[in-house]
Structure 1
Amino acid sequence: MENIVIIGNGVAGVTAARHIRKNSNKRIIIISAETDHFFSRTALMYVYMGHMKFEHIKPYEDWFWEKNRIELIRAYVSKVDHENKELQIEDARVLKYDKLILATGSKPNKFGWPGQDLHGVQGLYSKQDLDLLEINAPNKEVCKRAVIVGGGLIGIELAEMLRSRDIPVTFLVREESFWNVILPDGESEMINEHILEHHIDLRLETNLKEIVADKNGRVKSVITDKEEIIECQVVGLTPGVSPNVSFLNDSGIELGRGIKVNRFLETNIKDIYAIGDCAEQHEPIGNRRPIEAVWYTGRMMGETVAQTICGNRTEYKPGHWFNSAKFFDIEYQTYGWVFSTKGKKAYEQHFHWRHPAEKICLTIAFDKETRQFLGINTFGIRMRHEIFDRWLNEERDVMHVIKYLKDANFDPEFYAVYENEIAAKFNLEYGTDLKPEKKNWKRIFAIG
């Protein structure tokens, strides 16, 4: 029986295992040192906030693995010997494989700051990070202030977690506006306001210089590049993540920042594949980055590589870009491509609308010459993925999007809708006379 070994029990590795089992009778072994069982990494914050228990964020019951004949090993892999098709396990065991899937995920970035390894300094990525946060910041008596370094999605999650326990937070963001390397200016500015409304001390254009220890080797303060001293008991380092691949340095597997793969997720070594956060495309797919640390792309890669493992060699085709996140109370969705103001393409035009009172806005990107719809960001308005996917495939123009925007609105019927106001602003800016059509279920589901 063919031996399939998967290193990593995140969404990519587990999805690959599930789909290999659906399509074959192969022996499947998953190795991970993080936890005994797969859990939803994006739900870690809700465990700390008291909304869920850890067992609630495991998508499958513990009996699932044995029933589906997926073997689990809790251990580190220290070496990959591709010539002999062997893995060296930390306790000196050797495990043979016929095909190997590397799904080792990411690790938090560190940039050599003095004091970055002190007690009280941590990231927010793993189950171990969650356990450590319970020790470092159980309440506001133990942690009188936390400093978060890095203005991405993990940073905003950590800020929300700490504020749920009334712990004061100072947020150091090196950019002049929050996440403005990703978001257009109007959206970034709105998120700045929202962060401040949640009583977070937001310090823009501010870098960490040093983390200072007390006499016991714990954090007592940080020093910024503006020579400010901020007393704190916890420092959250959240300046992004990078592929977890250092154990492969002498393996013969081609590495860049991650594990280099082709469009079939194959490495340079026969029978070795890489998926998820650790995989790096030789050439980016469209406007996508070569490495995508996103939940749904990991799942798609797992499904794709399973087909190849089971004899149906399949190219990885992720389709149109989409993502979603949450900034405290504001839900964010993006479909297609809406680049930041600084990163905007030469052909790209932005239409931005913001509600005059609520934290609700959207930005639509389109080609300034052809008016072809390129993408949309929404904050505080839920949209239907399948509608935007269809419009992008059909290469609709921006006028079609504005006219039929109600079809894409996923909010419940009793929610306020804003399509008329959005169309009115578009008409004013572009001299059109568009009137939004009523929601039509035949159009939504492409019936008839």
Structure 2
Amino acid sequence: MQEDTHIVIIGNGIAGITAARHIRKRADCRITVISGETDYFFSRTALMYVYMGHMKFEHTQPYENWFWKKNKIELINGWVTGVDFDSKSLSIGENQELYYDKLILATGSTPNKFGWPGQDANGVSGLYSKQDLDYIAEQTKTTKQAVIVGGGLIGVELAEMFHSRGVEVTFLVREKNFWDIVLPEEEAKMINQEIIEHHIDLRLETELKEIETDSQNQVTAVITNSGERIDCQFVGLTVGVSPNVSWLKESGLEINRGIMVNEYLETNIPDVYAIGDCAEHQKPLTGRRPVEQVWYTGRMMGETLARTITEEKTAYKPGVWFNSAKFFNIEYQTYGQVKPQLEAGEEQFVWQSADHKKLLRVVFDEKSMAVLGVNVFGIRMRHEVWDDWIVNQKKINFVMEHLDQANFDPEFYKTHEYDIRDQFNQEFDFMTIKNTKPSLFKRLFA
């Protein structure tokens, strides 16, 4: 790559910044990153801890401010208002223009809104950007009651944030159990209980109908789909996010839900790429989704694209799906494929602790007995171990035998491998004796 090649990246989240860093490691070209959100890259997943007083905002920035100049990465604080792909030019703000040779779109996501009356009132916000955090902090200084709409990961983060400040929280979840579009019933009910034990008023199978306001357009209450009125001074809208692509709809880019990309993260326009939350894969790999809006996929796309842009064309291969989160005091990890309900040809083993604070679910192939995925709650597991077991199709009995190798809990935490193995052996002996499953025991130990 020539030194005078100008690579412009729109977005300074994990995807865009990872691309910039890895391009710089491989080439001496000109790199410019544009963002109107913040001057410098920060960890988006840490925003809740700033609100809760566990850290200051500057602690969310993994690089010192001098890092960017030292690595010759130019930063522009501004919003891109237009793009001309024919002339390879960008409009920034009202009067700034910038030309590129290669353009990387890493514009992230935007919180969903579904046309509720009052959704744009004072005291209504999602939690995605630094601006959202600042707005929530300002609006909730005197808040006594808050309502959160939407049962996802950001919703439970907001619930914990408000709970930490003594705010009464009502949590509206339209599903039968929390996040049951992702979690099997046992896991979803376990999180229900964890939320309730933290004095959150969890309203299942309840939807928002409208948001009431006063004469100053300030939130005063919400009305649910059952007609109930709930007083509040703040409403958190956490009903998912969508790729931030509306400003590109008429640009000539191929857009569906997100910006369509091939396996090399190339769009339909030459020298234009998309990565992170705003990208939609034309042909997602087996076990992967077309749009994957999680931190590590953005990082992996940034690393992959850096190789392609620096003339080592590389296909995006994210490997085994994984994710992690925290529901108040219960940590969650998932590797591989664990659906809310078993699919044809799948079997599972589920262990849960007596206090319902820990759970392990392993899904495996009914014929080959190879593990397909795992959910684990309240016990920390080693990523590389589960990744290896799933990639190499280890049988469920092998996994049970070597389960302690995956344990990542600190030294003085209680371990549960003995109890898990004991239940596993009892269940499989029972299934064999009663002949409720066709020769599972024989296939396990063949």
Q: Partner of 2:438 in structure 1?
A: none
Alpha-carbon separation, structure 1, partners of 2:116 and 2:135: 20
Contact 1:338 1:376 in 2 (8 A): yes
Deviation at 1:267, TM superposition (A): 0.1
- Pair 1:71-2:69 in alignment: no
Deviation at 1:417, TM superposition (A): 0.7
Alpha-carbon separation, structure 1, partners of 2:430 and 2:303: 44
Deviation at 1:136, TM superposition (A): 1.2
Alpha-carbon separation, structure 2, partners of 1:261 and 1:362: 36
Q: Partner of 2:127 in structure 1?
A: 124
Unaligned runs of 5+ in 2: 432-446
Deviation at 1:350, TM superposition (A): 2.2
Contact 1:149 1:171 in 2 (8 A): yes
Alpha-carbon separation, structure 2, partners of 1:432 and 1:58: 54
**Equivalence map 1:17-36=2 (5 Å):** 17-36=20-39
Q: Partner of 1:249 in structure 2?
A: 249
Contact 2:260 2:280 in 1 (8 A): yes
Q: Partner of 1:273 in structure 2?
A: 273
Question: What is the count of residue pairs matched by the alignment?
Answer: 428
- Pair 1:376-2:379 in alignment: no
Q: Partner of 1:333 in structure 2?
A: 333
- Measured against aligned partners, the alpha-carbon deviations of 1:236-270 in whole angstroms (never above 9, x if no partner) come to 00000000011111111100010000000000000
- Pair 1:45-2:29 in alignment: no
- Measured against aligned partners, the alpha-carbon deviations of 1:56-88 in whole angstroms (never above 9, x if no partner) come to 000101110011000000111111111111111
For normalisation by structure 2, the TM-score amounts to 0.95
**Equivalence map 1:107-146=2 (5 Å):** 107-138=110-141, 142-146=142-146
Worse overlay, 365-374 or 172-181:
365-374
1:57 to 52, 55, 60: 60
Contact 2:349 2:361 in 1 (8 A): yes
Amino acid at match of 1:330: I
- Pair 1:16-2:26 in alignment: no
Deviation at 1:422, TM superposition (A): 0.9
- Measured against aligned partners, the alpha-carbon deviations of 1:13-63 in whole angstroms (never above 9, x if no partner) come to 000000000000010000001000000000000000000000000010111
Amino acid at match of 1:407: Q
Deviation at 1:217, TM superposition (A): 0.8
- Measured against aligned partners, the alpha-carbon deviations of 1:161-212 in whole angstroms (never above 9, x if no partner) come to 0000010100000000000110111111100000000000000000000001
Deviation at 1:367, TM superposition (A): 1.1
- Measured against aligned partners, the alpha-carbon deviations of 1:335-370 in whole angstroms (never above 9, x if no partner) come to 1111112xx321222211110025111111111222
Alpha-carbon separation, structure 1, partners of 2:347 and 2:387: 20
Contact 1:383 1:410 in 2 (8 A): yes
- Pair 1:423-2:412 in alignment: no
Counterpart of 1:130 in 2: which secondary structure?
helix
* Identity, % of aligned positions: 61
Q: Partner of 1:399 in structure 2?
A: 397
Q: Partner of 2:165 in structure 1?
A: 165
Contact 2:207 2:224 in 1 (8 A): yes
Deviation at 1:432, TM superposition (A): 7.6
Alpha-carbon separation, structure 2, partners of 1:168 and 1:364: 37
Counterpart of 1:260 in 2: which secondary structure?
strand
Q: Partner of 1:99 in structure 2?
A: 102
Contact 1:284 1:290 in 2 (8 A): yes
Q: Partner of 2:175 in structure 1?
A: 175
User: 4+ residue stretches of structure 1 with deviation over 2 A?
Assistant: none
Alpha-carbon separation, structure 2, partners of 1:123 and 1:404: 43
Q: Partner of 2:364 in structure 1?
A: 366
Alpha-carbon separation, structure 2, partners of 1:252 and 1:79: 12
Alpha-carbon separation, structure 2, partners of 1:34 and 1:370: 50
Unaligned runs of 5+ in 1: 434-448
Alpha-carbon separation, structure 1, partners of 2:390 and 2:367: 17
Contact 1:426 1:432 in 2 (8 A): no
Q: Partner of 2:209 in structure 1?
A: 209
Counterpart of 2:91 in 1: which secondary structure?
strand
Contact 2:190 2:356 in 1 (8 A): no
Worse overlay, 423-432 or 295-304:
423-432
Contact 1:186 1:352 in 2 (8 A): no
Q: Partner of 2:436 in structure 1?
A: none
**Equivalence map 1:345-356=2 (5 Å):** 345-356=343-354
- Measured against aligned partners, the alpha-carbon deviations of 1:132-158 in whole angstroms (never above 9, x if no partner) come to 1111112xxx11100000000000000
- Measured against aligned partners, the alpha-carbon deviations of 1:271-316 in whole angstroms (never above 9, x if no partner) come to 0000000000012221211000000000000000000110101000
Alpha-carbon separation, structure 2, partners of 1:392 and 1:360: 22
Alpha-carbon separation, structure 1, partners of 2:235 and 2:115: 14
Alpha-carbon separation, structure 2, partners of 1:270 and 1:167: 51
Worse overlay, 196-205 or 398-407:
398-407
**Equivalence map 1:284-363=2 (5 Å):** 284-341=284-341, 344-363=342-361
State the superposition RMSD in angstroms. 1.0
For normalisation by structure 1, the TM-score amounts to 0.94
Amino acid at match of 1:368: E
Q: Partner of 1:446 in structure 2?
A: none
Amino acid at match of 2:370: Q
Counterpart of 2:381 in 1: which secondary structure?
coil
Alpha-carbon separation, structure 2, partners of 1:346 and 1:361: 23
Q: Partner of 1:6 in structure 2?
A: 9
Alpha-carbon separation, structure 1, partners of 2:24 and 2:430: 55
1:390 to 388, 394, 412: 388
